[in-house]
Structure 1
Amino acid sequence: MTSTGAINGLLINDNYIKIISNNIANASTIGYKSSQPVFFDIFSHSIYSNSIQGSGAGISHIIQNFNNGMLIETNRDLDLGIIKDGFFRVLDARGHVYYTRNGQFLLDKNKNIINMQGMYLTGQNKSFSKNTFNNLSNLEVINLRHADILQAKPTSSITLSAILNSNINSVTTDDPQNNLSESGNNIRKIIIYNKDEKPEEITISFNKKDEHTWKVHVKSNNEKDTSTENSIDNSFELQFNSDGELISHELFKIRSQNAKYENITLNLTDTVEQSNSDNSFKEFYQNGYLEGSLKTFNILSNGEIIGRYSNEQTLPIGQILLSKFINPEKLRPESGNVWSATEESGEGDIGIAGNSGFGLLEKGTLETSNVDLNKELINMIVAQRNYQSNAQSFKTEDKIINTLINLR
């Protein structure tokens, strides 16, 4: 009977060569992780002797190397590389969950973000709160069709910051034009949007009433219809202390009798009064806009998808979420450069890129295979020599056994 040690040596080195060959074959596979066997020695007790005999070696399991590969630039918007820890979570057509480091994605005809195997990238399709992503129930297939059209939004908030000259003379009229010669630029004309999805121009003017007291006048500039019920015509007072800081910090409500206007909040809290300074405006913002269509989108390093619309609005339309495992080596490799979770790997944690140990996303890059070809070729030579040596050992022992059989 031939030596079990030599036979085991042939078998494990044959498997070792297959593992090395697979690594070499995937040296150019995006996101591929190399593998290596873990060998163990085998000993057995003889029934004819108390001595322990070596019976060769075996492979206990195969370790996957999850060290990061290099990121290469592709300048393609839907190519995503993960810096450090994390996996993309994808679903196949039957709803089975897989994980991958291959960030080659594209849009299908239904505007789902899918990988090259047609698996669906998961996350969320709307604005989000970071504190809500703590279980699998929050995940869904990312689909951008819901974001094709951004519905019009009537103005409900105006923020305006002004610098007012405390040295100009007070006026006794509410006419905002009366004080122009002395106050300089004390009028700001802005565009707001009503519920009819139409832009309208309003005027916000500042007139000094008393020392450290100013009157703010908000009026619509509708030349075709000047009736009170169809326009905006509100006034407010601002009080400043001796240092020019605003005392009254309440948010003013701009009201109109016409239902086509949203109730508008006017925020002037950053307005200041200064001496020897021309009236000017530091900042302006209003939150209304017309209907717009999605022109393009950008993926941030935290996985947030920002849509850019034809109405010049930029809004979050989705969020890519990553998965992370304490024991990724126990993930089961599957065809298509993906892994599935096992009992030993666990289901994994879900999180936002850049938070709680999750890696960041790098748009326009892909992670290359982490196979070291030089190392694999050396391992191939070693495995080949080991195989040849075990084969020679097998031949030698075979000759010895034949010699014993032929003894007369």
Structure 2
Amino acid sequence: MMRSLFSGVSGLQNHQTRMDVVGNNIANVNTTGFKRNRVNFQDMIYQQLQGASRPTEDLGGVNPREVGLGMSVASIDTIHIQGSLQTTGVQTDLAIQGTGFFVLKEGDKSYFTRAGNFSLDQEGLLVNPANGMRVQGWMAQDVEGMQFLDVSRDVENLIIPIGAKDAARATTNVNFACNLDKRTIEIPENPTQMQVREGSWSEQIKVFDTFGDEHTLQLLFTRVPGVNNSWNAVVTVDPENPVATNAAIGLGEEAPPTGGPNTFTVNFSNLGTILNAVDGEGNLSGTDSGTPVIMNVAYDVQSATPGDDGAPVRQEFTLNLGTVGGLTNSITQYAETSSSKMTEQDGNTMGYLDNFKIDQSGVITGIFSNGTSRTLGQVALASFSNQGGLEKAGSNNFVVSNNSGTANIGPSGIAGKGKIIAGALEMSNVDLSEQFVDMIVTQRGFQANSRTIQTADQLLQEVLTLKR
């Protein structure tokens, strides 16, 4: 009877533990990124009244006689199944679809979380606003004006400097593709205004100097008289500027020369694709099929301070006309209306960081007021060989334990890590209907164990009254 008392007590205590877990799950039904727990029971040690005996020639074997001494909690597991995603529209809210955890830092201490309700602090750091922990990732590195992400480095704080300046950048490359109408007439020796208009085609492109000042690059194409498949091109920078900018075209070591010619010739094959281009000095660009056809262009920057010799500052860029035999992004000559297909240049004015976006890889792209965009950084994710072994640290955070394994930190989509969804949050994975059923089962188990104690008490009472 005393054994039944203690068994009932263990049942009460451990069902109370299970009820505590159920209550915590229900309390966190709306907690962002919460992962529910479950309790598993196991029976305890047994008191052996009689051991087992093996069969003999005369008798069969006898099973052991054992009386259990109650039950205990076998484990309290964290269930890391995916919670549903809720769209918030907040650009700093992040959710993970799949496995993985965001990495947070408090000093040198690392924490891991599924709750991506982040925001920016005063210094532009991406943080958890509830506790100030800093989101970890990799900031982009600037290499010769290009941004690169090196995810092999240690993670660092992510900074999104809203309002930061984007320096002006001079145009160094202009990609130009168009079609020149094969049917265009040649300009006669004494043309009328109408004949000049019909015998040429022009295009204007915006380019920038080192100050971010905008200039107009004008290309004027005319048929070469008496020559099939050849066009003369005249390059002018700021054609309406009262002060000449002295545009020049050229190839070679000293190209383009100061004050040199500002014309070149484009030659086409009988297939309508570009064959080569020749500058005013007879230098050829474009030989074998697939090789680039380029012209170097220079012009005076009138707003710049002249050099020690009093000469104006020259600004240079490369005019890319396509590739020999190219079609998609090259100049062509077909019997279609002359038109420009592509004009791209890599210069820009100064701008300010206005906005940013985060893609499924966690890459943060800054959008500037001058129309440019630049990679700022990338959010890191961590995965574990046994994520169930992580310890809960409160505030929706986990920490590494002896059985979780070390954190494997890398970009999303790599080594089994999920993808990042911006503008959404992962909700709790608590199923209320399941928790209520579990609550009923727990309550009935608790009641049954209390009845065991009551019944054992009554039996003891009967023993005490035997001597009356």
**Distance 1:359-1:318 versus aligned 2 partners, 3 A rule:** same
Matching of residues 9-408 of structure 1 within 5 Å: 9-46=11-48, 49-50=50-51, 51-92=65-106, 94-115=107-128, 116-126=130-140, 132-134=150-152, 137-145=153-161, 148-170=164-186, 180-184=196-200, 186-209=201-224, 210-221=227-238, 223-226=241-244, 228=246, 234-247=262-275, 248=286, 249-256=291-298, 260-269=313-322, 270-404=329-463
- TM-score, normalising length from structure 2? 0.77
Equivalent residue of 1:204, what SS?
strand
Identical counterparts, % of pairs: 25
Which residue identity lines up with residue 150 of structure 1 in the other structure?
D
Q: 2:181·2:334 contact (CA, 8 Å) conserved in 1?
A: yes
Alignment correspondent of 1:8: 10
Cα distance in 2 for residues equivalent to 1:168 and 1:66: 70
Shift of 1:53: 2.5
Q: Is the 8 A contact 1:219 1:233 kept in 2?
A: no
Residue 403 of structure 1: how far off its partner (Å): 4.3
User: Offset at 1:293?
Assistant: 0.8
Any conservation in 2 of the 1:217–1:233 contact (CA below 8 Å)? no
- Separation in 2, partners of 1:162, 1:254: 18
Query: Could you tell me whether the CA contact under 8 Å between 1:2 and 1:397 is conserved in 2?
Result: no
The 1:231–1:282 alpha-carbon spacing in structure 2 relative to 1, beyond 3 Å, is: farther
In the TM superposition, residue 144 of structure 1 has moved relative to its aligned partner by 1.4
SS at match of 2:127: strand
Compute the TM-score of the two structures, normalised by the length of structure 1. 0.88
Contact residue 91 and residue 120 of structure 1 kept, 8 A: yes
TM-aligned CA deviation for residue 312 of structure 1: 1.7
Deviation per CA, 1:283-323: give whole Å up to 9, x if none: 11111011101112222232222222121222222221222
Give the gaps of 5 or more residues in structure 2.
52-64, 142-146, 247-256, 276-285, 301-311, 323-328
Larger Rg: 2
Distance 1:293 1:273, change over 3 A: closer
Aligned residue pairs: how many? Answer: 399
Structure 1 unpaired stretches of 5+? none
RMSD: 2.8
Distance 1:227 1:147, change over 3 A: closer
Alignment partner of 1:214: what SS? strand
Deviations 1:54-108 (A, max 9, x none): 222222221111111111222222222222222211112x231111111111111
CA–CA distance in structure 2, aligned partners of residues 371 and 237 of structure 1: 72
Contact 1:220 1:233 in 2 (8 A): no
Does structure 2 conserve the Cα–Cα contact (< 8 Å) formed by 1:10 and 1:387?
yes
Seen in structure 2, the aligned counterparts of structure 1 residues 29 and 146 have a Cα distance that, compared at 3 Å, is: closer
Aligned to 2:307: none
Equivalent residue letter for 2:80: F
Distance 1:366 1:395, change over 3 A: same
Deviation of 1:354 after TM superposition, in Å, equals 4.0
Question: Secondary structure of the residue that 2:170 maps to in structure 1?
Answer: coil
SS in 1 for 2:434: helix
The residue type paired with residue 30 of structure 2 is S
Give per-residue Cα distances to partners, 1:328-371, cap 9 Å, x unaligned: 11111111011112232223333333455332322222221111
